[in-house]
Structure 1
């Protein structure tokens, strides 16, 4: 019997979940995967500016209830594209949590055509309005834990 291949949306969301484990924030670990033509073009997680203190080490730097030390996962992914000359127009993003209003505006301005997220997180009504206004596809997916049973962590036997 042949095993079924993992669906693309599950594949890219699992990538975002793995990426989120690099987060340096105590409050929420978020990962994002930018994709074009079923190819990952960038990834990001929420964390401090390179070289600055991490929330994990120094605690969150809160202003008005928001950690200002952290760059969001979506922004880190877009910035990675800018740094390495990868166009974002027409790309899709898979992000573990619903994007905040500022990230939503940035994604729309960057030409992202599809936003797929796993968890609701303070879903801003204005962000949802902007997504609809720009006719950007918005999907919520749940990762099927059964897919992880297909992974093998055993070392292959050598002949």
Structure 2
């Protein structure tokens, strides 16, 4: 592990040094097995980043590098074999390391300035990557609640918060003591009916309803915020999906206003029907969208710095 001035014989010594100097930023590129990764990953100020590119792009880059160094470039099939050895060697298992990365970058850029500009746009030093903001924290709780959903149509989670303290959580599904939706409890959700049809026969409570019922009017009080991870669609796309929805529905909107919720936060783009929007506006309920730092697989072309035809 080296830099312009630093070299460490073991991962433990590196970890000790960085932990004592955690206010500085360091980049390490020599993580070749899970033992090293496990030593470093236990620290809260560590982010694992993997960078890859389509194999045809990498082969072309390697050919250009060989030409610059007056070396013979390998044939494509030889390059593919060496690539497989590099990724799946049992001693290094770089594929396993890559699967554990918080951010997996797909880099089709053709120049270093393009790569640097794209990484700047990704904002790798966002403090929220180390410690979630309140919005991020509560939205992740909503995501976790959604995993408890038994609805056959979609999974939705909701969290009610006041003074940065959780009041209640909820997820969509059939009521208590009723057979779970995913076990046949709701006939409507277990059919192939299109979205928006047969709603009067649906037995599933919405996540917002569940959270509001659990909290009650007195516990909610004034100044409460509702977080919901509902996945909904722009109005222009709504007919393209099997179970489109407005966000939130009219029934939930009325209940949200009644219990005194002052703000509703959604994690994804949304469509609101006219009636729900009017109710929120009249009642002074603020609606906003939260976008967390990008993680998982990120194609640098999607950041708007480099167009696909320039990559």
Give the alignment's TM-score, normalised by structure 1: 0.82
Where in structure 2 are the equivalents of 1:5-154 lying within 5 Å? 5-58=131-184, 60-62=186-188, 64-66=197-199, 68-82=202-216, 86-97=219-230, 98-120=247-269, 123-146=272-295
**Could you tell me how far apart the structure 2 residues matched to 1:74 and 1:31 are?**
8
Determine which structure has greater relative contact order: mean sequence separation of CA pairs < 8 Å that are 6+ residues apart, divided by chain length: 1
Stretches of structure 1 lacking an aligned partner (at least 5 in a row): 148-159
What RMSD, in angstroms, separates the aligned Cα atoms of the two structures? 2.3
Contact 1:16 1:32 in 2 (8 A): yes
* TM-score normalised over the length of structure 2: 0.43
User: Would you say the 8 A contact 2:222–2:260 is kept in 1?
Assistant: yes
Distance 1:145 1:107 in 2: 30
Shift in Å, 1:61:
2.5
> 2:203 & 2:147 partners in 1: Cα distance?
18
CA contact (8 A) 2:152 2:182 kept: yes
Gaps (5+ residues) in structure 2? 1-21, 24-44, 46-126, 231-246, 297-311
Measured after TM superposition, the shift of residue 88 of structure 1 is 3.7
Q: Give distance in 2, aligned partners of 1:131 and 1:76.
A: 20
Deviation of the 1:6 alpha carbon: 1.2
1:5-58 CA deviation, whole Å, 9 max, x = no partner?
A: 211111111110110000010101110000000111100000111010111010
Higher strand share: 1
Identify if the C-alpha distance between structure 1 residues 127 and 25 changes in structure 2 by more than 3 Å, giving closer, same or farther: same
Change (3 A) 1:103 1:134: same
Higher helix fraction: Structure 1 or Structure 2? Answer: 2
Q: Secondary structure at the match of 2:284?
A: coil
Distance between the aligned counterparts of 2:149 and 2:225, measured in 1? 21
Report if the CA contact (8 A) 2:226-2:263 is conserved.
yes
- Cα gap change, 1:127/1:13 in structure 2, threshold over 3 Å: closer, same or farther? same
Separation of aligned partners in 1, 2:258 and 2:166:
20
Structure 1 distance, partners of 2:249, 2:154, is 13
